[in-house]
Amino acid sequence: MKLKYLVLMMVVALSLSACKTDIEVFKDNYRLDITNSKLKWSEEDTVQISLLDVASIGIDSVVWTQNAARIAGADGSTLSRKLKNQPYGNLTFKATVYKNGMNATVAAQIKRMPTQKAKIYNYKILNTYVHDTLSYTQGLEFYGDSLYESTGQYRESDIRITNVATGETIKKVNLPESQFAEGMTILNDKVYQLTWQSKMGYVYDLDLNKIDDFKYNQSQEGWGLTNDGSYLYKSDGSSKIWKIDPDTYEELGYIEVVSNDRIVSKINELEWVNGKIYANVYTTNLIMIINPANGVVEAAINMNSIKEEVSNYSEKDNVLNGIAYDKKNDRLFITGKRWPKLFEIEILK
């Protein structure tokens, strides 16, 4: 009986090992080694990384990336990367190795944090407008004089154009009941809208006629969306903000949002304001002002007292989640999920 049991266990073990793919076996033969590893990295440092061919299989070619963005000119088995003007947070380096028609990716990571503390700003309310309490606000953006809004929840999601002065909906397009809408932005007369967990985005013309859709690739979920006039920037619920090509929808890399003492997660609604990314941190009343080049939180707007102005405020559901910059008239607006009010505010520095 024991012999039969041992034979059975050997068969099971062999079966399990056979399940390991050629790619997995191939990957095990390579490793990245940070040859000058250290605890604290400064702007003046250079990180040195070696690609080790552990099993001496050989390498036909290599593609290196940093935070999912391809590093131009890096194609050998060593990488020397100066950190000056590079992003902060977790810098993830990957080498994709190609050999005999197969490929495998190996990774290594360093962590660098800024030393300068974020400034804390306050605000004052300049004007108050009516906001639809049925609107579970996920994205908010001006385009010319028009205010566009994306609203969430399953069986309730839509994209709409809103009259700022009255709060009335001028035009609305409902999403399929299976979709949970998230952030939106407008670039080159196209309205881009995210969905939450279905890894799908939609594109409309300015009259909200659907003209295209796209899928997410490496990013986890759809949360917030903005643009710098050339590229889209997408949050996914983590600390990452992804840069996206608006025509091909390719994710070109990401930054991590960091302050001097922590990596900031749950980055949600985004807005591009005078060269900075304004970002709401989900379930908080903080708006971060982020340097898009390196992810550093340069300042934070303390919006905590705004809940006293909102009759149906809820820390679990009806939270701050709408930032819109009226570039034409230099006005900044904020609102929240199902809030009865839209606020025009001034930042007090």
311 vs 93: CA distance, rounded Å:
48
How far CA 285 is from CA of 121, 321, 324, in Å, comes to 12, 9, 16
Question: pLDDT tens digit string along 147-195?
Answer: 999 999 999 999 999 999 888 899 999 999 999 999 999 999 999 999 9
Question: Does the structure show a pLDDT above 80 at 264?
Answer: yes
Question: Does the structure show a pLDDT above 80 at 119?
Answer: yes
Q: Which tokens belong to 74?
A: 């890096």
Structure confidence at residue 118 (pLDDT): 94
345 vs 123: CA distance, rounded Å:
6
The confidence band for 238, taking pLDDT boundaries of 50, 70 and 90, is very high
Work out the number of other CB atoms within 10 angstroms of the CB of residue 253: 18
How far CA 269 is from CA of 4, 238, 276, 323, 324, in Å, comes to 61, 12, 14, 7, 10
The rounded mean pLDDT for the chain is 90
Question: Does the structure show a pLDDT above 90 at 222?
Answer: yes
How far CA 322 is from CA of 184, 311, 336, in Å, comes to 11, 17, 6
Q: What is the DSSP letter of 308?
A: G
Show Cβ contacts of residue 112 under 8 Å, excluding neighbours closer than 6 positions.
40, 41, 42, 83, 86, 88, 89, 91
Q: Please state the pTM of the whole predicted model.
A: 0.89
331 vs 325: CA distance, rounded Å:
6
Question: pLDDT tens digit string along 243-261?
Answer: 999 999 999 999 999 999 8
137 vs 132: CA distance, rounded Å:
9
Q: Which tokens belong to 163?
A: 């009259």
347 vs 294: CA distance, rounded Å:
23
Q: What is the pLDDT averaged over residues 124-153?
A: 94
Dihedral-angle region of residue 260 (phi above 0 means left; psi in -120 to 50 means alpha; beta otherwise): alpha
Show Cβ contacts of residue 320 under 8 Å, excluding neighbours closer than 6 positions.
280, 284, 285, 287, 303, 306, 334, 335, 336
The confidence band for 1, taking pLDDT boundaries of 50, 70 and 90, is very low
Q: What is the pLDDT averaged over residues 309-327?
A: 87
> How far is Cα of residue 98 from the mean position of the Cα atoms in its chain?
29
Exposed / middle / buried, residue 173 (Cβ in 10 Å: 0-12, 13-18, 19+): middle
199 vs 179: CA distance, rounded Å:
10
Q: What is the DSSP secondary-structure string of 122-170?
A: EEEEEEEEE--TT--EEEEEEETTEEEEEE-STTT-EEEEE-TTT--EE
CA angle, residues 172, 177, 178, in degrees to nearest 5: 130
CA atoms within a 13 Å half-sphere pointing along the CA-CB vector of 236? 22
Show Cβ contacts of residue 12 under 8 Å, excluding neighbours closer than 6 positions.
none
Q: What is the DSSP secondary-structure string of 21-62?
A: -HHHHHHTTEEEEETT--S---TT-EEEEEEEETT----SEE
Amino acid at 148: Y
Q: What is the pLDDT averaged over residues 282-292?
A: 94
Residue whose structure tokens are 């709060």: 167
The confidence band for 23, taking pLDDT boundaries of 50, 70 and 90, is low
Write down the H helix ranges in the chain.
2-18, 22-27
Q: Do 349 and 289 contact (CB within 8 A), yes or no? A: no
Q: Do 150 and 138 contact (CB within 8 A), yes or no? A: yes
Work out the number of other CB atoms within 10 angstroms of the CB of residue 189: 8
